[in-house]
Amino acid sequence: MERLSGEKEQSVEAFGWAARDSSGHLSPFVFSRRKTGEEEVRVKVLYCGICHSDLHCLKNEWHSSIYPLVPGHEIIGEVSEIGNKVSKFNLGDKVGVGCIVDSCRTCESCREDQENYCTKAIATYNGVHHDGTINYGGYSDHIVVDERYAVKIPHTLPLVSAAPLLCAGISMYSPMKYFGLTGPDKHVGIVGLGGLGHIGVRFAKAFGTKVTVVSSTTGKSKDALDTLGADGFLVSTDEDQMKVRNLKPFINYANKT
């Protein structure tokens, strides 16, 4: 088991699973978390989703990985310690931590509660904290985060199901709400029925929105229509369907992004 050395001394030992190189292989890793600050909470990690971003970073496919790397940004846990100025949470609260753990807090994006667009946003893992130390993610036993960047999980939501909502979920929910794509007078198209796509369909149906799934093959039509309740299904490789629906320019664009 490797122990971290060479970083700025911190105070609380933590255990996680880390990759040491672009092989992406995970192995036990002991490191340190900083003390809980005045406006921070320490979260005992109960669950952490596996995002495809984790796989990209583990293997350095985006050419930005900092090793050793502890991934995980779909974190669900329980507040085990709070700073003396924390006002949002109490000990024992169930909370979630998503893709970022801090930002500049002063730019236009931050002032408009769009911290994910902040050019100085700090990633939950594979990022550098204000004190110069490397952030390690949720494939670990606990994490420290400013209370602004944690969310309370309702007691009615199963914790094991909540983790993917911290990345895939918010990626679909946010644009639907932001652009007002909710209600029976709206019709949304979900391109692809993968990890994000199936959550997008479920949100759309919960909003009462008409939803059409667009996929490259017919293989997922049953899942889309029968299991998830989509209102329509289109095959993007079917020229006739694309001509009739006048969606071809959109599909071509979507497939390039």
Check: CB of residue 126 under 8 Å from CB of residue 135. yes
Peptide bond into 68 cis (omega under 30): yes
- Residue 241, pLDDT score: 79
- Residue 38, pLDDT score: 96
Q: Which residues of the chain have pLDDT under 70?
A: 1-10, 244-257
- Architecture of the CATH domain 169-255: 3-Layer(aba) Sandwich (3.40)
Residues 57 and 24: their CA atoms lie apart, in Å, by 8
- Residue 131, pLDDT score: 87
Residues 76 and 65: their CA atoms lie apart, in Å, by 24
pLDDT in tens, 17-36: 999 999 999 999 999 999 99
Report which of 157, 253, 132, 236 is spatially closest to residue 193, judged by C-alpha positions.
236
Query: Which three-class secondary structure state does DSSP give residue 76?
Result: strand
Own/partner contacts of 101-104, CB < 8 Å, gap of 24 or more, are 101/127, 101/129, 101/135, 101/145, 101/146, 101/149, 102/129, 102/130, 102/146, 102/149
Name the CATH superfamily, with its identifier, for domain 11-159.
Medium-chain alcohol dehydrogenases, catalytic domain (3.90.180.10)
User: How do the domains of the chain map onto residue ranges?
Assistant: 11-159, 169-255
Total-model pTM: 0.86
Number of residues in the chain: 257
Residues 136 and 143: their CA atoms lie apart, in Å, by 8
Q: Which residue has the tokens 């995980």?
A: 72
